[in-house]
Structure 1
Amino acid sequence: MFRGKKYQDSAKQIDKNIQYEPAEGLALVCKTATAKFDETVELHVKLGVDSRHADQQVRGAIVLPHGTGKTVRVLVFAKADKAEAAKAAGADYVGEMDLVEKIQKENWFDFDVVVASPDMMGVVGRLGKVLGPKGLMPSPKAGTVTPDVAKAVQEVKAGKIEYRLDKTNIIHCPIGKVSFGPEKLTENYNTLMGAIVKAKPAAAKGQYIRSCVAAATMGPGVRMNTAKLV
Protein backbone atom coordinates (compact mmCIF):
# COMPACT_ATOMS: atom_id res chain seq x y z
CA MET A 1 0.00 0.00 0.00
CA PHE A 2 1.45 3.35 -1.03
CA ARG A 3 1.87 5.88 1.76
CA GLY A 4 2.69 9.56 1.22
CA LYS A 5 5.87 11.24 2.45
CA LYS A 6 4.06 12.92 5.36
CA TYR A 7 2.75 9.56 6.58
CA GLN A 8 6.19 7.95 6.25
CA ASP A 9 7.83 10.81 8.19
CA SER A 10 5.20 10.47 10.91
CA ALA A 11 5.60 6.69 11.08
CA LYS A 12 9.35 7.06 11.70
CA GLN A 13 8.58 8.75 15.03
CA ILE A 14 6.77 5.67 16.33
CA ASP A 15 8.53 2.53 17.54
CA LYS A 16 6.41 -0.40 16.33
CA ASN A 17 7.92 -2.69 18.98
CA ILE A 18 6.78 -0.56 21.91
CA GLN A 19 3.42 -0.50 23.64
CA TYR A 20 3.07 3.08 24.79
CA GLU A 21 1.45 4.25 28.00
CA PRO A 22 -1.88 5.94 27.12
CA ALA A 23 -0.84 9.57 27.70
CA GLU A 24 2.46 9.12 25.83
CA GLY A 25 0.83 7.16 23.01
CA LEU A 26 -1.94 9.71 22.50
CA ALA A 27 0.60 12.56 22.56
CA LEU A 28 2.35 10.73 19.69
CA VAL A 29 -0.95 10.35 17.82
CA CYS A 30 -1.47 14.14 18.07
CA LYS A 31 2.13 14.88 17.10
CA THR A 32 2.03 12.66 14.01
CA ALA A 33 -1.34 13.95 12.74
CA THR A 34 -0.33 16.26 9.89
CA ALA A 35 -3.54 16.69 7.87
CA LYS A 36 -4.91 20.18 7.24
CA PHE A 37 -8.21 19.30 8.98
CA ASP A 38 -8.89 18.35 12.60
CA GLU A 39 -8.42 14.59 12.43
CA THR A 40 -10.56 12.17 14.44
CA VAL A 41 -8.67 9.89 16.84
CA GLU A 42 -9.93 6.31 16.79
CA LEU A 43 -9.24 3.29 18.97
CA HIS A 44 -9.08 -0.18 17.46
CA VAL A 45 -9.34 -2.78 20.22
CA LYS A 46 -8.92 -6.47 19.37
CA LEU A 47 -10.58 -8.75 21.92
CA GLY A 48 -10.01 -12.42 22.75
CA VAL A 49 -13.64 -13.38 22.23
CA ASP A 50 -15.61 -15.01 19.42
CA SER A 51 -18.37 -12.68 18.20
CA ARG A 52 -20.14 -15.57 16.48
CA HIS A 53 -21.33 -16.75 19.91
CA ALA A 54 -24.17 -14.82 21.52
CA ASP A 55 -22.65 -15.21 25.00
CA GLN A 56 -19.39 -13.57 23.85
CA GLN A 57 -20.84 -10.38 22.42
CA VAL A 58 -19.35 -7.12 23.66
CA ARG A 59 -21.59 -4.14 23.14
CA GLY A 60 -22.66 -1.08 25.03
CA ALA A 61 -22.68 2.70 25.14
CA ILE A 62 -20.77 5.26 27.16
CA VAL A 63 -20.73 9.05 27.46
CA LEU A 64 -17.19 10.30 26.89
CA PRO A 65 -16.17 13.05 29.37
CA HIS A 66 -15.15 15.39 26.55
CA GLY A 67 -17.47 14.14 23.80
CA THR A 68 -16.20 13.19 20.34
CA GLY A 69 -15.85 16.68 18.88
CA LYS A 70 -18.39 15.73 16.23
CA THR A 71 -21.80 17.34 15.80
CA VAL A 72 -24.20 14.39 15.92
CA ARG A 73 -27.54 14.56 14.10
CA VAL A 74 -30.23 12.70 16.05
CA LEU A 75 -33.44 11.30 14.59
CA VAL A 76 -36.19 10.36 17.07
CA PHE A 77 -39.24 8.17 16.52
CA ALA A 78 -41.79 9.25 19.12
CA LYS A 79 -45.27 10.68 19.39
CA ALA A 80 -47.29 13.18 21.42
CA ASP A 81 -45.56 14.48 24.58
CA LYS A 82 -42.46 12.33 24.01
CA ALA A 83 -42.01 13.87 20.57
CA GLU A 84 -42.25 17.35 22.11
CA ALA A 85 -39.72 16.40 24.83
CA ALA A 86 -37.30 15.10 22.17
CA LYS A 87 -37.56 18.38 20.23
CA ALA A 88 -36.95 20.37 23.41
CA ALA A 89 -33.86 18.21 24.16
CA GLY A 90 -32.34 19.16 20.81
CA ALA A 91 -33.31 16.31 18.46
CA ASP A 92 -32.70 17.24 14.82
CA TYR A 93 -35.63 15.25 13.42
CA VAL A 94 -38.72 13.94 15.22
CA GLY A 95 -41.55 12.00 13.65
CA GLU A 96 -43.45 8.77 13.15
CA MET A 97 -44.62 7.05 9.95
CA ASP A 98 -43.73 10.18 7.94
CA LEU A 99 -40.02 9.63 8.65
CA VAL A 100 -40.24 5.89 7.94
CA GLU A 101 -41.68 6.70 4.49
CA LYS A 102 -39.05 9.38 3.86
CA ILE A 103 -36.27 6.87 4.55
CA GLN A 104 -37.94 4.14 2.48
CA LYS A 105 -38.96 6.25 -0.53
CA GLU A 106 -36.23 8.88 -0.69
CA ASN A 107 -33.31 6.82 0.66
CA TRP A 108 -32.83 9.63 3.18
CA PHE A 109 -30.04 9.22 5.74
CA ASP A 110 -29.14 12.74 6.95
CA PHE A 111 -28.70 11.56 10.54
CA ASP A 112 -26.07 9.78 12.67
CA VAL A 113 -28.06 8.22 15.54
CA VAL A 114 -31.64 6.91 15.78
CA VAL A 115 -33.55 6.98 19.08
CA ALA A 116 -37.02 5.47 19.55
CA SER A 117 -39.57 5.11 22.30
CA PRO A 118 -40.57 1.44 22.88
CA ASP A 119 -44.12 1.99 21.53
CA MET A 120 -42.64 3.03 18.17
CA MET A 121 -40.53 -0.10 17.61
CA GLY A 122 -43.32 -1.77 15.63
CA VAL A 123 -43.01 1.04 13.09
CA VAL A 124 -39.20 1.31 13.26
CA GLY A 125 -38.90 -2.46 12.78
CA ARG A 126 -39.92 -1.97 9.14
CA LEU A 127 -36.62 -0.18 8.60
CA GLY A 128 -34.50 -3.04 10.00
CA LYS A 129 -33.13 -4.03 6.58
CA VAL A 130 -31.89 -0.52 5.80
CA LEU A 131 -30.90 0.73 9.27
CA GLY A 132 -29.32 -2.56 10.46
CA PRO A 133 -26.45 -2.78 7.95
CA LYS A 134 -25.59 0.88 8.60
CA GLY A 135 -25.43 0.28 12.37
CA LEU A 136 -28.30 2.75 12.88
CA MET A 137 -30.98 0.42 14.26
CA PRO A 138 -31.95 1.59 17.76
CA SER A 139 -31.50 -0.98 20.55
CA PRO A 140 -32.20 -1.16 24.29
CA LYS A 141 -28.55 -2.26 24.91
CA ALA A 142 -27.23 0.96 23.40
CA GLY A 143 -29.83 3.01 25.30
CA THR A 144 -31.42 4.17 22.06
CA VAL A 145 -34.75 2.39 22.69
CA THR A 146 -36.03 4.06 25.82
CA PRO A 147 -39.17 5.66 27.31
CA ASP A 148 -37.02 8.70 28.16
CA VAL A 149 -36.17 9.83 24.64
CA ALA A 150 -35.26 13.34 25.81
CA LYS A 151 -32.50 12.00 28.10
CA ALA A 152 -31.20 9.76 25.29
CA VAL A 153 -30.99 12.77 22.95
CA GLN A 154 -29.10 14.82 25.55
CA GLU A 155 -26.60 11.99 26.14
CA VAL A 156 -25.95 11.49 22.44
CA LYS A 157 -25.44 15.23 21.97
CA ALA A 158 -23.08 15.25 24.99
CA GLY A 159 -20.79 12.67 23.37
CA LYS A 160 -22.34 9.26 23.95
CA ILE A 161 -20.82 6.61 21.73
CA GLU A 162 -21.76 3.02 21.07
CA TYR A 163 -19.09 0.33 21.00
CA ARG A 164 -19.58 -3.09 19.48
CA LEU A 165 -17.54 -5.94 18.03
CA ASP A 166 -17.19 -6.32 14.30
CA LYS A 167 -16.92 -9.73 12.61
CA THR A 168 -13.16 -9.85 13.24
CA ASN A 169 -13.65 -9.30 17.02
CA ILE A 170 -12.38 -5.71 16.88
CA ILE A 171 -14.07 -2.63 18.36
CA HIS A 172 -13.53 0.58 16.37
CA CYS A 173 -14.46 3.74 18.25
CA PRO A 174 -13.73 7.47 18.03
CA ILE A 175 -12.40 9.07 21.23
CA GLY A 176 -12.20 12.68 20.07
CA LYS A 177 -10.27 15.03 17.79
CA VAL A 178 -6.55 15.80 17.57
CA SER A 179 -7.34 19.36 18.73
CA PHE A 180 -8.45 17.94 22.12
CA GLY A 181 -4.79 17.37 23.02
CA PRO A 182 -3.35 14.32 24.87
CA GLU A 183 -4.92 15.09 28.26
CA LYS A 184 -8.57 15.10 27.17
CA LEU A 185 -7.99 12.21 24.77
CA THR A 186 -6.47 10.18 27.62
CA GLU A 187 -9.55 10.80 29.81
CA ASN A 188 -11.83 9.70 26.97
CA TYR A 189 -9.56 6.68 26.32
CA ASN A 190 -9.70 5.61 29.98
CA THR A 191 -13.50 5.93 30.03
CA LEU A 192 -14.00 3.83 26.91
CA MET A 193 -11.44 1.16 27.84
CA GLY A 194 -12.90 0.94 31.35
CA ALA A 195 -16.33 0.27 29.83
CA ILE A 196 -14.95 -2.40 27.49
CA VAL A 197 -13.18 -4.17 30.38
CA LYS A 198 -16.41 -4.05 32.46
CA ALA A 199 -18.34 -5.55 29.54
CA LYS A 200 -16.14 -8.65 29.45
CA PRO A 201 -18.41 -11.66 28.86
CA ALA A 202 -18.31 -14.42 31.45
CA ALA A 203 -17.74 -16.92 28.61
CA ALA A 204 -14.54 -15.18 27.43
CA LYS A 205 -11.46 -17.33 28.01
CA GLY A 206 -7.77 -16.45 27.93
CA GLN A 207 -6.41 -12.97 27.26
CA TYR A 208 -9.34 -10.55 26.91
CA ILE A 209 -7.65 -7.49 25.36
CA ARG A 210 -5.33 -8.78 22.64
CA SER A 211 -4.22 -5.40 21.31
CA CYS A 212 -5.18 -1.74 21.27
CA VAL A 213 -4.09 0.72 18.60
CA ALA A 214 -4.85 4.45 18.51
CA ALA A 215 -4.65 6.38 15.24
CA ALA A 216 -5.69 9.71 13.79
CA THR A 217 -7.66 9.68 10.51
CA MET A 218 -4.61 10.08 8.26
CA GLY A 219 -1.89 9.12 10.74
CA PRO A 220 -0.03 5.93 11.62
CA GLY A 221 -1.21 3.59 14.38
CA VAL A 222 0.28 3.70 17.87
CA ARG A 223 0.16 0.53 20.00
CA MET A 224 -1.14 1.14 23.52
CA ASN A 225 -0.16 -0.68 26.70
CA THR A 226 -3.32 -2.18 28.22
CA ALA A 227 -1.65 -4.35 30.88
CA LYS A 228 -2.91 -2.15 33.74
CA LEU A 229 -6.51 -2.39 32.57
CA VAL A 230 -7.02 -6.13 32.84
Structure 2
Amino acid sequence: MPKRGKKYQESLKLIDKQKLYDPEEAIELVQKTAKAKFDETVELSVKLGVDPRHADQQVRGAVVLPHGTGKTRKVLVFAKGEKAKEAENAGADYVGAEEYINKIQNENWFDFDVVVATPDMMGMVGRLGRILGPKGLMPNPKSGTVTFDVAKAVKDIKAGKVEYRVDKTSIVHVPIGKVSFGSEKLLENFKTIMEAIIKAKPAAAKGRYLRSVTVSSTMGPGIKINSQKLMD
Protein backbone atom coordinates (compact mmCIF):
# COMPACT_ATOMS: atom_id res chain seq x y z
CA MET A 1 0.00 0.00 0.00
CA PRO A 2 1.25 3.51 -0.74
CA LYS A 3 2.43 5.44 2.29
CA ARG A 4 -0.20 7.92 3.37
CA GLY A 5 0.63 11.57 4.05
CA LYS A 6 1.04 13.27 7.40
CA LYS A 7 -2.47 14.75 7.37
CA TYR A 8 -3.99 11.32 6.77
CA GLN A 9 -1.95 9.85 9.65
CA GLU A 10 -3.13 12.69 11.92
CA SER A 11 -6.73 12.03 10.91
CA LEU A 12 -6.30 8.34 11.58
CA LYS A 13 -5.39 9.08 15.22
CA LEU A 14 -8.85 10.60 15.75
CA ILE A 15 -10.58 7.34 14.83
CA ASP A 16 -10.98 4.20 16.90
CA LYS A 17 -10.68 1.45 14.25
CA GLN A 18 -12.42 -1.10 16.50
CA LYS A 19 -15.43 1.10 17.19
CA LEU A 20 -18.74 1.24 15.36
CA TYR A 21 -19.91 4.84 15.61
CA ASP A 22 -23.40 6.29 15.74
CA PRO A 23 -24.21 8.20 12.52
CA GLU A 24 -24.07 11.54 14.38
CA GLU A 25 -20.58 10.82 15.77
CA ALA A 26 -19.34 9.51 12.41
CA ILE A 27 -20.50 12.62 10.55
CA GLU A 28 -18.79 14.85 13.15
CA LEU A 29 -15.58 12.85 12.78
CA VAL A 30 -15.64 12.94 8.98
CA GLN A 31 -15.53 16.73 9.15
CA LYS A 32 -12.67 16.69 11.67
CA THR A 33 -10.63 14.25 9.56
CA ALA A 34 -11.09 16.19 6.31
CA LYS A 35 -7.86 18.17 6.18
CA ALA A 36 -7.45 18.83 2.46
CA LYS A 37 -7.24 22.40 1.16
CA PHE A 38 -10.39 21.95 -0.92
CA ASP A 39 -14.00 21.30 0.13
CA GLU A 40 -13.97 17.50 0.26
CA THR A 41 -16.92 15.35 -0.74
CA VAL A 42 -18.34 13.05 1.92
CA GLU A 43 -18.78 9.54 0.50
CA LEU A 44 -20.98 6.79 1.86
CA SER A 45 -20.05 3.14 1.21
CA VAL A 46 -22.54 0.42 2.10
CA LYS A 47 -21.57 -3.25 1.87
CA LEU A 48 -24.73 -5.29 1.34
CA GLY A 49 -25.58 -8.93 1.97
CA VAL A 50 -26.62 -9.51 -1.63
CA ASP A 51 -25.16 -11.41 -4.56
CA PRO A 52 -25.25 -8.86 -7.43
CA ARG A 53 -24.69 -11.64 -9.98
CA HIS A 54 -28.35 -12.57 -9.51
CA ALA A 55 -30.96 -10.32 -11.14
CA ASP A 56 -33.30 -10.71 -8.15
CA GLN A 57 -30.62 -9.35 -5.81
CA GLN A 58 -29.87 -6.13 -7.64
CA VAL A 59 -30.14 -2.98 -5.57
CA ARG A 60 -30.49 0.25 -7.46
CA GLY A 61 -32.60 3.36 -7.48
CA ALA A 62 -32.43 7.10 -7.07
CA VAL A 63 -33.31 9.58 -4.38
CA VAL A 64 -33.32 13.37 -4.11
CA LEU A 65 -31.04 14.42 -1.25
CA PRO A 66 -32.70 17.18 0.81
CA HIS A 67 -29.55 19.33 0.57
CA GLY A 68 -28.17 18.15 -2.76
CA THR A 69 -24.57 16.98 -3.24
CA GLY A 70 -22.87 20.36 -3.48
CA LYS A 71 -22.00 19.64 -7.10
CA THR A 72 -23.85 21.02 -10.09
CA ARG A 73 -24.37 18.14 -12.45
CA LYS A 74 -24.49 18.49 -16.23
CA VAL A 75 -27.46 16.76 -17.81
CA LEU A 76 -27.66 15.39 -21.35
CA VAL A 77 -31.20 14.65 -22.57
CA PHE A 78 -32.06 12.53 -25.60
CA ALA A 79 -35.43 13.81 -26.77
CA LYS A 80 -37.17 15.27 -29.81
CA GLY A 81 -39.84 17.86 -30.54
CA GLU A 82 -41.98 19.00 -27.63
CA LYS A 83 -40.05 16.89 -25.12
CA ALA A 84 -36.75 18.45 -26.23
CA LYS A 85 -38.26 21.90 -25.56
CA GLU A 86 -39.45 20.80 -22.10
CA ALA A 87 -35.96 19.53 -21.24
CA GLU A 88 -34.37 22.80 -22.38
CA ASN A 89 -36.82 24.87 -20.34
CA ALA A 90 -36.13 22.73 -17.26
CA GLY A 91 -32.42 23.58 -17.49
CA ALA A 92 -30.84 20.60 -19.28
CA ASP A 93 -27.29 21.37 -20.42
CA TYR A 94 -27.52 19.45 -23.70
CA VAL A 95 -30.62 18.31 -25.58
CA GLY A 96 -30.62 16.43 -28.85
CA ALA A 97 -30.61 13.10 -30.62
CA GLU A 98 -28.33 11.62 -33.31
CA GLU A 99 -25.80 14.46 -33.15
CA TYR A 100 -24.95 13.65 -29.51
CA ILE A 101 -24.85 9.91 -30.16
CA ASN A 102 -22.30 10.54 -32.93
CA LYS A 103 -20.35 12.94 -30.73
CA ILE A 104 -20.04 10.31 -27.97
CA GLN A 105 -19.19 7.50 -30.42
CA ASN A 106 -16.77 9.41 -32.63
CA GLU A 107 -15.26 12.08 -30.41
CA ASN A 108 -15.21 10.30 -27.05
CA TRP A 109 -17.23 13.22 -25.67
CA PHE A 110 -18.26 13.02 -22.03
CA ASP A 111 -18.96 16.56 -20.86
CA PHE A 112 -22.00 15.45 -18.81
CA ASP A 113 -22.74 13.67 -15.52
CA VAL A 114 -26.22 12.23 -16.11
CA VAL A 115 -28.08 11.02 -19.19
CA VAL A 116 -31.88 11.19 -19.47
CA ALA A 117 -33.86 9.79 -22.40
CA THR A 118 -37.49 9.58 -23.43
CA PRO A 119 -38.58 5.92 -23.91
CA ASP A 120 -39.00 6.38 -27.69
CA MET A 121 -35.31 7.34 -27.93
CA MET A 122 -33.99 4.24 -26.18
CA GLY A 123 -33.67 2.25 -29.41
CA MET A 124 -31.16 4.83 -30.59
CA VAL A 125 -29.52 5.36 -27.19
CA GLY A 126 -29.10 1.58 -26.88
CA ARG A 127 -26.31 1.83 -29.45
CA LEU A 128 -24.26 3.57 -26.73
CA GLY A 129 -24.74 0.73 -24.23
CA ARG A 130 -21.16 -0.51 -24.47
CA ILE A 131 -19.80 3.00 -23.95
CA LEU A 132 -22.21 4.39 -21.33
CA GLY A 133 -22.88 1.14 -19.46
CA PRO A 134 -19.43 0.64 -17.90
CA LYS A 135 -19.41 4.30 -16.81
CA GLY A 136 -22.78 3.91 -15.10
CA LEU A 137 -24.28 6.53 -17.43
CA MET A 138 -26.87 4.44 -19.26
CA PRO A 139 -30.42 5.78 -18.74
CA ASN A 140 -32.58 3.41 -16.72
CA PRO A 141 -36.29 3.42 -15.81
CA LYS A 142 -35.45 2.33 -12.24
CA SER A 143 -33.47 5.47 -11.60
CA GLY A 144 -36.05 7.67 -13.32
CA THR A 145 -33.77 8.55 -16.24
CA VAL A 146 -35.94 6.88 -18.91
CA THR A 147 -39.13 8.91 -18.78
CA PHE A 148 -41.47 11.12 -20.79
CA ASP A 149 -41.52 13.55 -17.85
CA VAL A 150 -38.11 14.95 -18.81
CA ALA A 151 -38.74 18.28 -17.08
CA LYS A 152 -39.18 16.61 -13.67
CA ALA A 153 -36.16 14.35 -14.28
CA VAL A 154 -33.92 17.33 -15.10
CA LYS A 155 -35.20 19.41 -12.16
CA ASP A 156 -34.70 16.52 -9.72
CA ILE A 157 -31.13 15.91 -10.90
CA LYS A 158 -30.32 19.61 -10.64
CA ALA A 159 -31.86 19.65 -7.14
CA GLY A 160 -29.51 16.91 -5.94
CA LYS A 161 -30.90 13.58 -7.04
CA VAL A 162 -28.36 10.79 -6.68
CA GLU A 163 -28.42 7.33 -8.14
CA TYR A 164 -27.31 4.39 -6.07
CA ARG A 165 -26.51 0.93 -7.36
CA VAL A 166 -24.72 -2.10 -5.99
CA ASP A 167 -21.43 -2.87 -7.74
CA LYS A 168 -19.79 -6.24 -8.48
CA THR A 169 -18.35 -6.36 -4.96
CA SER A 170 -21.82 -5.85 -3.36
CA ILE A 171 -20.99 -2.27 -2.35
CA VAL A 172 -23.04 0.88 -2.96
CA HIS A 173 -20.93 4.08 -3.21
CA VAL A 174 -22.76 7.38 -3.11
CA PRO A 175 -21.84 11.01 -2.28
CA ILE A 176 -23.85 12.62 0.53
CA GLY A 177 -22.58 16.19 0.25
CA LYS A 178 -19.57 18.38 0.98
CA VAL A 179 -17.70 18.78 4.28
CA SER A 180 -18.77 22.45 4.33
CA PHE A 181 -22.45 21.43 4.61
CA GLY A 182 -22.05 20.92 8.37
CA SER A 183 -23.34 18.03 10.49
CA GLU A 184 -27.06 18.69 10.30
CA LYS A 185 -27.34 18.74 6.50
CA LEU A 186 -24.94 15.82 6.04
CA LEU A 187 -26.91 13.77 8.55
CA GLU A 188 -30.22 14.50 6.81
CA ASN A 189 -28.72 13.48 3.47
CA PHE A 190 -27.23 10.36 5.07
CA LYS A 191 -30.57 9.32 6.59
CA THR A 192 -32.41 9.91 3.30
CA ILE A 193 -30.09 7.69 1.28
CA MET A 194 -29.91 4.98 3.97
CA GLU A 195 -33.72 4.79 4.16
CA ALA A 196 -33.84 4.36 0.37
CA ILE A 197 -31.20 1.58 0.41
CA ILE A 198 -32.94 -0.25 3.28
CA LYS A 199 -36.30 0.02 1.49
CA ALA A 200 -34.70 -1.37 -1.68
CA LYS A 201 -33.76 -4.63 0.09
CA PRO A 202 -34.49 -7.45 -2.37
CA ALA A 203 -36.79 -10.23 -1.12
CA ALA A 204 -34.14 -12.74 -2.27
CA ALA A 205 -31.42 -11.27 -0.01
CA LYS A 206 -30.45 -13.75 2.70
CA GLY A 207 -28.95 -13.12 6.13
CA ARG A 208 -27.76 -9.73 7.28
CA TYR A 209 -28.57 -7.04 4.72
CA LEU A 210 -26.35 -4.18 5.94
CA ARG A 211 -22.90 -5.79 6.31
CA SER A 212 -21.00 -2.55 6.85
CA VAL A 213 -21.64 1.18 6.54
CA THR A 214 -18.68 3.56 6.20
CA VAL A 215 -18.38 7.31 5.66
CA SER A 216 -15.23 9.07 4.54
CA SER A 217 -14.13 12.34 3.00
CA THR A 218 -12.32 12.42 -0.36
CA MET A 219 -8.86 12.30 1.23
CA GLY A 220 -9.75 11.06 4.71
CA PRO A 221 -9.91 7.62 6.33
CA GLY A 222 -13.12 5.56 6.54
CA ILE A 223 -15.27 5.71 9.68
CA LYS A 224 -17.46 2.69 10.40
CA ILE A 225 -21.06 3.15 11.49
CA ASN A 226 -23.10 0.80 13.65
CA SER A 227 -25.29 -0.58 10.85
CA GLN A 228 -27.46 -2.66 13.19
CA LYS A 229 -28.93 0.52 14.68
CA LEU A 230 -29.93 1.71 11.22
CA MET A 231 -32.10 -1.35 10.63
CA ASP A 232 -33.96 -1.00 13.96
Q: Which residue of 1 aligns with 2:151?
A: 150
AA partner of residue 173 (structure 2): H
Deviation, structure 1 residue 170: 0.4
- Which 10-residue stretch deviates more, 143-152 or 218-227? 218-227
Residues 17-166 of structure 1: matches in 2 within 5 Å?
Answer: 17-166=18-167
Q: Which residue of 2 aligns with 1:218?
A: 219
Q: Deviations over 1:199-229 (max 9, x none)?
A: 0000111100000010000001100112222
Give the alignment's TM-score, normalised by structure 2: 0.98
Runs of 4+ aligned residues of structure 1 deviating over 3 Å after TM superposition are: none
Deviation, structure 1 residue 18: 0.9
Aligned-residue Cα RMSD (Å) equals 0.6
**How far, CA to CA, are the matches of 1:5 and 1:203 in structure 2?**
45
Q: Deviations over 1:4-23 (max 9, x none)?
A: 11100010000011111111
**How far, CA to CA, are the matches of 1:66 and 1:114 in structure 2?**
21
Q: Deviations over 1:42-83 (max 9, x none)?
A: 011000111111111111000000000011000000011110
Q: Which residue of 1 aligns with 2:198?
A: 197
**How far, CA to CA, are the matches of 1:93 and 1:136 in structure 2?**
15
SS of equivalent residue, structure 2 residue 188: helix
Q: Identity over aligned residues, as a percent?
A: 71
Q: Deviations over 1:180-205 (max 9, x none)?
A: 01111000000000000000000111
**How far, CA to CA, are the matches of 1:31 and 1:46 in structure 2?**
24
**How far, CA to CA, are the matches of 2:130 and 2:52 in structure 1?**
21
Gaps of at least 5 residues in structure 2 are: none
How many correspondences in the alignment?
Answer: 230
